[in-house]
Amino acid sequence: MKRRPGGTTHLSISLPTEEAKMLRRRARRIYDGNVSRVVSDAIRYIAYEEGRDALITSFRGKGKPTPAEAAQLDHAWSLVAKKSA
C-alpha cells in the first residue's frame, strides 16, 4: 500500500457485523473498496455537526434551527449524501 501524505494513525475498532458490512458496501460502491475513505467522510460530517452546534451555542439559544431548518442547511451546504449510480 502506498503511503499517504501527512500523518496517519492506524485504529482497530469493533463494530456490529451489519455495520461493518454497511461500511464495506459503501466503500466498494463509492471508493473502490477504501473503507478508510468512508470513515473519513463520517468524521467530516461529525466535525460539521460539532461546528454547527458550537455556532448555535454561541448564539445562546437565540438561533436554534428547527429540524426542518437544519435539514435545509445540510442540503444548502451540500452535506446531503449524493445518490450513486
Is the model more confident about 1 or about 33? Answer: 33
pLDDT in tens, 30-79: 999 999 999 999 999 999 989 888 887 887 766 677 888 888 888 887 76
How distant, in Å, are the alpha carbons of 12, 13, 61, 69, 76 from that of 66?
A: 37, 34, 12, 5, 15
Would you state the pLDDT for residue 85? 45
Would you state the pLDDT for residue 81? 62
Q: Is the pLDDT of residue 6 over 90?
A: no
Q: Is the pLDDT of residue 1 over 60?
A: no
Work out the widest C-alpha separation in the chain, in whole angstroms.
50
